[in-house]
Amino acid sequence: MNSFRSTLSRTALGASAGLLAGFIALAVAELVAGLFRPAAGPVTVVGGAVIDRTPAAVKDFAIRTFGENDKTVLQLGILVVLALVAAALGVLALRHRRVGASGILLFGLVGAVAALSRPDAEGAVDVLPSLVGAVAGAVFLYAMAGKAGGASGSAEGTGGAGWNRRGFLVMAGAGAVGATSAGLLGRYLTGRQGQGAVASRNALVLPAPGSPAPPVPRGARLKVPGITPFTTPNKDFYRVDTALVVPKVDAGTWRLRIHGTGVSRARSFTLEDLLARPLIERDITLTCVSNEVGGPYAGNARWLGVRLADLLAECGVTPPSRGGKADQLVARSVDGMTLGSPVEDVMDGRDAMLAVGMNGEPLPFDHGFPVRMLVPGLYGYVSACKWIEDIELTTFAAYDPYWVKRKWARRAPIKTQSRIDTPKPFARPAAGTVTVAGVAWAQRRGITRVQVRVDDGPWQDADLAAQDTVDTWRQWTYRWQATPGGHNLTVRATDGTGQVQTEQRARTIPDGASGWHGVFVTVT
Ligand SMILES: Nc1nc2c(c(=O)[nH]1)N[C@H]1C(S)=C(S)[C@@H](COP(=O)(O)O)O[C@H]1N2
Ligand SMILES: [Mo]
């Protein structure tokens, strides 16, 4: 009994020493990252490596289940795993000091390898946070194990000969305080590194567009409670990307390079260069390929930017239909993401742009400051590169960008979709007139008809809001004479080519979900 209790308390002793060592390793890593390379913090690089290696279906599941909290969930998961491993190493260290401490070093090595494998790795500096942190954690654990009597290699109990209670507690306290300070200082330094970028964004005054967006027609914005607003405010705009740390790019030092196959005049542009050009302003609805039928990953904004086709033409690029050799445009971001768009689409007259403004302000950092790409009609993953810094003209045969390497389609035009925003699923409206309302989109083709079906009844035409452009979604309403009981409401849209939205259900992978959206409600 006694020996059981003493084994238990020694286990607790080892586990707490291990946890503390893990905490110290992470905190010191945070400090080193803050000093030299914020993007190379161990949780960030391991998280990034996990994201890159996660199968598409799992990633899709994570986006669906956790939404925009997916990254927080991932980081918490990594911390929980690290804590368990650290506690186990601590217990081990009481028996075998060297082995336990080496375990921490091994984890530092994993972090270092992950850091080097990041597409935006800069070199040796990327391994510093993980390695220095791990050494600090390992030294601490080794010393703590000594205070706990680990050197003797036997389980003597917490009151045993090797156990230096006072020394253990003093060292634990000093470690905790020191690590907390190091961690906080690291956080502060990381925050400061982004301040130049923040200042450059605050100082940016967007020029007036040479080609303003036509005013949104009266009647394009319906005032129905619960309907998706026609323009999505920036703070509500969905965010989908792989960045665990949002890149903070200084507008003053930002450059965009255009080069590659068929580029006769390779060039590099500053933000000033772009802003000095005539700007276009357009309403464009952006949609994510991971959006399920009825899902939230679509948003509509007023974008300000440079016409991409003009820029390409100046660099000597011609579209494939006029003999150009490059059929794929690969955009690369500062964090190493790659997205590939058809050159033909970018140059066919649509408003493909390098956007600098979103709803009247500089791009928010979350949405790609200082410059992002947009191509109306294409899902975000094949067009909407945020934090863009490089455009390479190439071919689909020669290069597969990030998502294509992960089994998503090379080409992905947006599929016609419609969504019921109100009533919500399982709502309990009162019998009588119920306003059913939502949005429908088919970028490049426009929406010409939306129909609603109650249970297995006939399709009824909904009232369409005025159309802004073919590149924006369109709101609709349907006045339903609701009778008591359970009812299924289904919606479908027809696009500008006369094509009715397909009933055929498709998953988001590989080129976007299809099928009709329905909600079940109980009328009371
Ligand atoms: N650099 C970078 N750009 C990116 C992505 C990314 O992960 N990294 N994700 C793309 C995807 S999948 C979509 S749907 C859009 C989303 O843009 P938003 O976050 O501004 O809504 O950005 C695209 N651009
Ligand atoms: Mo996306």
- Find, among 296, 311, 173, the residue nearest to 237 by Cα: 296
**More confident of the two residues 72 and 153:** 72
Please state the rounded mean pLDDT for residues 248-268.
97
Centroid of ligand 1 to alpha carbon of 281 (angstroms): 20
Ion ligand 2 contact residues with beta carbon within 5 A: 240, 288-289, 380-381
Ligand 1 touching residue 337 (CB < 6 A): yes
- Find, among 45, 30, 36, 366, the residue nearest to 197 by Cα: 366
- 292-317 per-residue burial string, b: 16 or more CB within 10 A, e: under 16: bbbbebbbbbbbbbbbbbebbeebeb
- What pLDDT digit, counting tens, does each position of 106-137 carry? 999 999 999 999 988 888 899 999 999 999 99
Centroid of ligand 1 to alpha carbon of 367 (angstroms): 8
User: What pLDDT does 192 receive?
Assistant: 86
Centroid of ligand 2 to alpha carbon of 385 (angstroms): 10
The ligand 1 atom at the shortest distance from the C-alpha of residue 288 is 14
Q: Confidence band (pLDDT; 50, 70, 90) for 150? A: low
Among 285, 341, 375, 386, name the best residue to mutate to test ligand 1's pocket (greatest count of ligand atoms within 8 A of Cβ).
386
CB 345 within 8 A of CB 443: no
Gap between the Cα atoms of 493 and 507, Å rounded: 19
- What pLDDT digit, counting tens, does each position of 265-309 carry? 999 999 999 999 999 999 999 999 999 999 999 999 999 999 999
Sign for the pseudo-dihedral over CA of 384, 409, 508, 447: positive
Ligand 1 touching residue 381 (CB < 6 A): yes
Question: Closest residue (by CA) to atom 5 of ligand 1?
Answer: 241
Ligand 1 touching residue 380 (CB < 6 A): yes
User: What pLDDT does 39 receive?
Assistant: 87
Ligand 1 touching residue 389 (CB < 6 A): no
Among 54, 235, 240, 441, name the best residue to mutate to test ligand 1's pocket (greatest count of ligand atoms within 8 A of Cβ).
240
Task: Of 155-164, 414-423, 493-502, give the lowest mean pLDDT range.
Answer: 155-164
Ligand 1 touching residue 404 (CB < 6 A): no
Q: Is the pLDDT of residue 364 over 50?
A: yes
User: What pLDDT does 1 receive?
Assistant: 46
pTM: 0.90
Task: Of 104-108, 157-161, 438-442, give the lowest mean pLDDT range.
Answer: 157-161
- What pLDDT digit, counting tens, does each position of 409-433 carry? 999 999 999 999 999 999 999 999 9
